[in-house]
């Protein structure tokens, strides 16, 4: 077999990266990669200490090689950085830190923070030393997030934060959070908001678990009581938090579209749900793969998945060409949610009566049910499908915005439920 890494584009530091990989990975991993044995690599991943590997790569600057050295990167050009990350993908080595830091917080920090804040926040983020979550939604500010009521009041070189956030994914596992808070209630609701990188271990931060319909602990509600946030943790100018949050939300729509995942092999994707291959295999094993109705249902879902993949590739190509995330994130986010939910509904139909009751020793059916239930959140999380359709209507089709009787009024004068 020909070593697949030999034909890859060269880049500064390649020899150093390959030498580092040889120290991090077992010899059998290297042999499996060079022989193209993907199954062997998957088995070897089970025994790999992924956080240590990611942290080592991150501390060496290879997780985000296009970032400046002082920001945790290698200072490579975008083309060279793509070549470096392509090599990591070919080696199939884990190199993405857990949490929302790299896909959501890092682009926002890069675009909006000053150099001191970048040097402070980015290196531990890209190494995975600090996992990030998101503190945006509130009990009274979900779809209308700009009406948020959490406050941040300046006190010298610090900000004192009070309020409540909800639907915080993996907040109980995070060291940092993307926080937006109101810093000037006398401005209209989209103004007077400031963006911070909150220390989740700071005094006054209380995390309470929320168990979802599938019985999983994934979301949390977070209470903030007189939490002191140093000004160096402020991301962007005071009062520009809404614009910075739009950077995060744009990246989130792409992440929830599945555009950041190289290959989907199991049911552990961020949105939950079984992949198409497993649903098709289940139908075959149950002896209904040849049933005309079942085949038609499966083919519909296969086609939907292929169309989504093409749209995601178009979004990736735009990003590679240097374009900022646009409304295509809303399109793919809606499509991904609908496709994933419909596929799980087909799976439950194929299970038939087994989806209603199963024997105690049946370990597979409960997993199908849990994955089905988890996907019910797909059209809600990361911005509801209704909100995404509004974005498409306004920014793509040019339709008028919904009327707002309080547009331009100071936030403190706007009635809140």
**Closest Cα to residue 262, out of 42, 76, 100, 5?**
42
Residue appearing with tokens 């963006």: 195
Q: For residues 112 and 235, give the distance between their C-alpha atoms in angstroms, rounded to a whole number.
A: 6
| CA angle (99 as vertex; 58, 68 as ends), nearest 5 | 35
Q: List active site positions.
A: 252
For 298, other C-beta atoms within 10 Å of its C-beta total 22
Q: How far apart are CA 125 and CA 59, in angstroms?
A: 10
Tokens 């744009």: give the residue: 250
Residue with tokens 């749900």: 273
Q: Return the structure tokens found at 317.
A: 């190509």
Q: How buried is residue 23: exposed, middle or buried, by Cβ count under 10 Å (0-12/13-18/19+)?
A: exposed
Question: CA-to-CA distance for 154 and 135, rounded, in angstroms?
Answer: 19
Reading phi first (left if > 0) and then psi (alpha if -120 to 50, else beta), residue 148 is in beta
List the one residue out of 193, 200, 181 whose CA is nearest residue 124. Answer: 200
CB atoms within 10 A of CB 314: 14
- Tracing tokens 């296009």 back to the chain, one arrives at 66
Element (H, E) at 331: helix 328-351
Q: How many CA atoms lie within 13 A of 379 on its CB side?
A: 11
């Amino acid at each position: 077999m020909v070593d697949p890494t030999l034909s890859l584009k060269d880049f500064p530091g390649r020899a150093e990266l390959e030498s580092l990989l040889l120290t991090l990975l077992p010899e059998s991993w290297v042999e499996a990669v060079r022989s193209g044995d993907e199954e062997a690599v998957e088995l070897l991943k089970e025994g790999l200490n992924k956080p240590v590997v990611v942290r080592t790569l991150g501390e060496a600057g290879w997780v985000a090689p296009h970032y400046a050295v002082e920001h945790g990167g290698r200072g490579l050009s975008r083309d060279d950085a793509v070549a470096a990350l392509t090599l990591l993908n070919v080696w199939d080595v884990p190199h993405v830190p857990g949490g929302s830091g790299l896909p959501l917080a890092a682009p926002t920090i890069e675009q909006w923070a000053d150099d001191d804040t970048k040097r402070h926040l980015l290196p531990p983020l890209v190494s995975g030393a600090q996992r990030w979550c998101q503190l945006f939604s509130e009990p009274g500010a979900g779809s209308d997030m700009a009406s948020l009521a959490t406050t941040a009041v300046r006190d010298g070189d610090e900000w004192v934060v009070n309020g409540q956030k909800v639907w915080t994914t993996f907040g109980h596992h995070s060291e940092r959070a993307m926080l937006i808070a109101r810093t000037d209630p006398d401005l209209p609701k989209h103004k007077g908001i400031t963006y911070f990188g909150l220390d989740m271990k700071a005094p006054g931060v209380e995390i309470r678990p929320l168990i979802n319909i599938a019985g999983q602990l994934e979301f949390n509600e977070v209470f903030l009581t007189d939490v002191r946030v140093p000004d160096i943790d402020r991301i962007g100018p005071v009062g520009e938090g809404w614009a910075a949050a739009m950077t995060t939300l744009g990246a989130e729509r792409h992440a929830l579209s599945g555009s950041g995942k190289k290959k989907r092999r199991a049911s552990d994707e961020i949105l939950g749900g079984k992949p198409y291959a497993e649903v098709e295999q289940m139908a075959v094993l149950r002896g209904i793969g040849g049933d005309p109705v079942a085949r038609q249902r499966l083919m519909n879902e296969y086609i939907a998945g292929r169309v989504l993949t093409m749209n995601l590739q178009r979004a990736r190509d735009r990003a590679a060409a240097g374009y900022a995330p646009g409304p295509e994130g809303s399109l793919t986010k809606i499509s991904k949610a609908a496709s994933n939910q419909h596929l799980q509904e087909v799976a439950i139909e194929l299970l038939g009566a087994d989806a209603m009751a199963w024997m105690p020793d049946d370990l597979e059916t409960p997993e199908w049910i849990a994955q089905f239930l988890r996907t019910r959140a797909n059209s809600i999380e990361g911005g509801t499908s209704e909100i995404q359709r509004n974005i498409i209507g306004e920014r793509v089709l040019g339709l008028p915005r919904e009327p707002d009787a309080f547009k331009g009024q100071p936030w403190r004068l706007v009635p809140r439920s």
